[in-house]
Homo-oligomer: A and B are copies of this chain.
Amino acid sequence: MELDQLDRDIIAALVDDARQTYADIGHQVGLSASAVKRRVDRLRETGAITGFSARVSPQALGWTTEAYVELFCQGKTKPSDIALAVTRFPEVVAAATITGEADALLHIRATDVRHVERVIERIAAMAFVVRTKSSIVLSRLVDTPPGAAVPEARNTSATPS
């Protein structure tokens, strides 16, 4: 699946504001509305664009506290086991297996510090968990909606302007 510069510009425009009209996007990228629509349709077909979502302010919804938790598991634990277990916690908004000492890293959103504590407590109680190591987020410095930047522009890679 090849993406040219036009596709990337369209994606960037839609990440910025998914409710723009096709005509507006066309103006930005230099295409007509129908041409933009056909490209957007294709981008959705191919899976480059997976959907459209409202951006919400977590703190406005009451999620004022977040934490990162490293998970140390028993040797025989499968990644799918971890996935299955943590999916059940709505507070776990992200999770990944990682290299290094820990087996997995969880990203947790909660209403307050006490809430974080309760969640970690219950996660640590799971059978395959040996121990956890958690860090409370003091202040969020960056939170980029993914897709804002495009990797193919190699000059920007690892080269702060």
User: B-contacting residues of A (Cβ < 8 Å)?
Assistant: 1, 3, 8, 11, 14-19, 46-58, 60-63, 66, 68, 79, 82-83, 85-100, 102, 104-105, 109-111, 115, 118-119, 121-122, 133-152, 156-161
Min distance, Cβ A156 to any Cβ of chain B, angstroms: 6
Q: What residues of chain B lie closer than 8 Å to A83, measured between beta carbons? A: 141-142
What B residues does A61 contact at CB under 8 A? 3, 8, 11, 48, 147, 150-151
Q: A99-B136, A105-B68 are in contact. Are A149 and B53 (CB under 8 A)?
A: no
Least CB separation from A18: chain B residue: B52
Question: Given A53-B55, A122-B158, is A135 in contact with B92 using a C-beta cutoff of 8 Å?
Answer: no
Q: Are B47 and A51 in contact (CB under 8 A)?
A: no
